[in-house]
Amino acid sequence: MDSDIQDETPNDIKGLLKNYPNIKTICLNGNKSYSAFKKYFPNLLEKYNCYKMPSTSPANARYSLDKLIEEWSVISYNPESHSILKEF
């Protein structure tokens, strides 16, 4: 569970983005993911389209599977432009 995380170490997100320069959108899975991203990579929040999505963790009892599917389905991949679109 997120509450069990101690001494977190961020992944090399900057290296990933450098290796894949076509990435324009970052979807963050839940509050903990968003908080950590904001803590370690605040400059990327403005450079990329960043979206906090509802957690897919089973501990997220507020969302049923159907509700998670609904929330996450607003993200779609456009193969022609190689981009991710999020619609509200």
Q: Is the pTM of this model over 0.85?
A: no
The answer to whether the CB of 53 falls within 8 A of the CB of 27 is yes
What residue has token string 């897919």?
56
Q: Which residues contact 63 (CB under 8 A, 6 or more apart)?
A: 54, 55, 71
pLDDT at 88: 45
Tens digits of per-residue pLDDT, 7-50?
888 899 999 999 999 888 899 998 989 999 999 999 999 999 89
**Residue 78 pLDDT more than 80?**
no
The answer to whether the CB of 76 falls within 8 A of the CB of 84 is yes
Q: Which two tokens stand for residue 53?
A: 């999505």
Beta strand 83-86 with 75-78: parallel, antiparallel or unpaired?
Answer: antiparallel
